Structure 1
Amino acid sequence: MELAQTVLGSGRSIKLSRLHMELTYEGLLMGYPTREMNDGIVTTAVRQAEKHYPSLPVHLAEPPRVQREIRRPTFGPMEELPLVLCTGFFISEAVDPTLEPVLHYSRLVVVWFQADSGLPSPDRPTPGLCDVPWNEKAEDSEL
């Protein structure tokens, strides 16, 4: 059973087993997001995923960054990431075609950003998530 399923641009179907979501700018009380702040958010998200899943490969789907004009750029130029930061544990069939499909699967932790709190879906591609290079990043495992 899975929380959600989606299809990558490569055509591979992946299943979401675990998901952590949070607001990208949770805790930002004053000011506005900048490139430096966003770099820190992205780096921290990847490090937390690596810490939480120490034996699994972690892939960052590079988030879109939107520059915004502001009247008085006190902290530098404004740059926004999508609203929701997601970390998900995905599984799929084995990458190595010589492995027995009944006994093997592939797995990967993905960090991505999205505009809303909706689950990934085969009917609605999630930007960034659908471009994950699964065959290069995922690792095969035995049941």
Structure 2
Amino acid sequence: MPLAYVVLKSGHAIQLTNLHFSCTYGGLLEGVPTEDVNTSIIEGLTASAGRDFPNRPVHVVPPAREYPDEQPSRSRGRVEFMPRVACVGTFEADAVGPDADPVWDRSWLTVVWFQEEASLDGIKDALADLAWGELARDMTL
């Protein structure tokens, strides 16, 4: 039984089968986040998702970024914040390929995204524009 159903703007209905929330800056021990720190966080989440779900493609929804300071520091770069909650979810849906078997094949995708609250409510907005047909991979059950 799925954790949630999401209908994308394209009309494609997908099912959330696994979800992990974490604090975006939970591992930041000192300093403030910069573009380099945020890039490292995104790359780490993407690599981890690929290891956890090795047969599924991974897609990152580009996060919103805020810049509270006008000027970058001389040594570390400009302060840059992403939303507070990092999310990794696995989704499945009907197969998308023209040669797929409608009974035995399903499409799968792991998605990394960021949102302000650890809530299922934010998922539909965060993934509304997801191009499922282009990103997901069909696999036989």
Please give the range of the TM-score, normalised by the shorter of the 2 chains.
Answer: 0.7 to 0.9
Structure 2 counterparts to residues 104-143 of structure 1, below 5 A = 104-120=105-121, 125-127=124-126, 129-143=127-141
Which SS does the other structure have where 1:79 is aligned? coil
**Residue 31 of structure 1: how far off its partner (Å):** 1.6
Q: How does 1:10-21 map to 2 (within 5 A)?
A: 10-21=10-21
Does the Cα contact within 8 Å between 2:72 and 2:79 map onto a contact in 1? no
Off by >6 Å, runs of 4+ in structure 1: none
Q: Give the equivalent residue in structure 1 for 2:90.
A: 89
Give, as a single letter, the amino acid of the residue that structure 2 aligns with 1:47.
A
User: What is the deviation of 1:6?
Assistant: 1.1
The percentage of counterpart residues that share the same residue type is 39
Amino acid at match of 1:117: A
Structure-1-length-normalised TM-score: 0.87
Structure 2 portions without partners, runs of 5+: none
User: Which residue matches 2:38?
Assistant: 38
How many residue pairs get aligned? The number is 140
Aligned to 1:54, the other structure's residue is in SS state coil
Q: 1:34 to 1:47 in 2, by over 3 A?
A: same
Cα RMSD after superposing both structures? 2.1
Find the aligned partners of 1:79 and 1:92 in 2 and give their Cα distance.
Answer: 35
1:72, distance to aligned residue in structure 2 (A) = 8.8
SS at match of 2:67: strand
Return the alpha-carbon distance in structure 2 between the equivalents of residues 120 and 101 of structure 1: 30
